[in-house]
Structure 1
Amino acid sequence: MKYMLMMNTPHGGPYQVASWPQKDLHAHIAFMKSFHKKLSSTGELVGAEGLAGPDQARLVRAGNDGKPITDGVFPETKEFLAGYWIVDVDSPARAYEIAAEASAAPGPGGAPLNLGIEVREVMSAPPNDLP
């Protein structure tokens, strides 16, 4: 089963890595690289990416003519998606274990961030009862 693990962080909260001391930033990046390597070696990692901050986000929808209409930046956002992993595991419990490990990534002073990681199953096909 595939799961998407989404790392959400409070806007303006503890995941402001650009403002961290260099040693803390390097420790965090080293953790993420090691975590990526570990999941790759077990064959559980399908993909993972960090995302640009919410200051670069835009909401896009099609206008009446089909051309994109953009809106944003949304500074009132309480949380933002900082990055994600897609894993292929045998059970939801394993996805939760991986999410907990990602949540404990080190932050300033080496303390675990304990960020919320949203875990959602990736649907492989629509239900069979649809026409």
Structure 2
Amino acid sequence: MPKYLLLKHYRGGPQPHHPFPPMDQWAPEDVEAHMAFLRHVSATLEERGELVGVQALTPERTWVRYGGPGAAPVTTDGPHPETSDLIAGWFMIDVESRERALEIAAHVSSEPGPGGGPLYEWIDVREIMSGRPADD
């Protein structure tokens, strides 16, 4: 079965369906409803045997690169790419087909936002490479 990574971005996607403020500006009950929905999705996928893993990430990050032979890694906390490039979290799923991965991603996109309505969040669906890339 193919595995897919469903990436949730802080503000990623082609165009926001609705402009929502960042989650740190939401009412506490809206944040809890959002997180409860995601926990329910995780539990449902686990029951179906489709969940490989799920994680949420904080917005804090450090960039690291190889420093060269015998050198320490080079790190920096900026400058950063646009906010739309930052990953908020992910689901790793193992499903029967790409269609099922898209169905799950669409469901995750319906997660509640401020006021309880769906976020219509763009979810980046990426298949996990199981072999070497195809030659173009």
Q: Please give the alpha-carbon distance, in whole angstroms, between the structure 1 residues aligned to 2:37 and 2:100.
A: 19
Opposite residue 7 of structure 1, the aligned amino acid is K
Residue 110 of structure 1 pairs with residue 130 of structure 2: no
Q: Is the 8 A contact 1:6 1:117 kept in 2?
A: yes
C-alpha distance 99-128 of structure 1, shift in aligned 2 (>3 A)? closer
Map of 2:104 onto structure 1:
98
- Match of 1:28, SS state, is helix
Deviation string, structure 1 residues 51-109 (Cα, Å, up to 9, x no partner): 111xx112110112342101233455131211101100011000000001111110000
Structure holding more strand per residue: 1
Residue 62 of structure 1 pairs with residue 63 of structure 2: no
Runs of 5+ consecutive residues of structure 2 not aligned to the other structure: 13-18
CA RMSD, aligned part only? 2.1
- Match of 1:10, SS state, is coil
Q: Please give the alpha-carbon distance, in whole angstroms, between the structure 1 residues aligned to 2:24 and 2:9.
A: 17
Q: Percent identity at matched positions?
A: 38
Runs of 4+ in 1 over 4 A off after TM superposition: none
What is the deviation of 1:19? 1.9
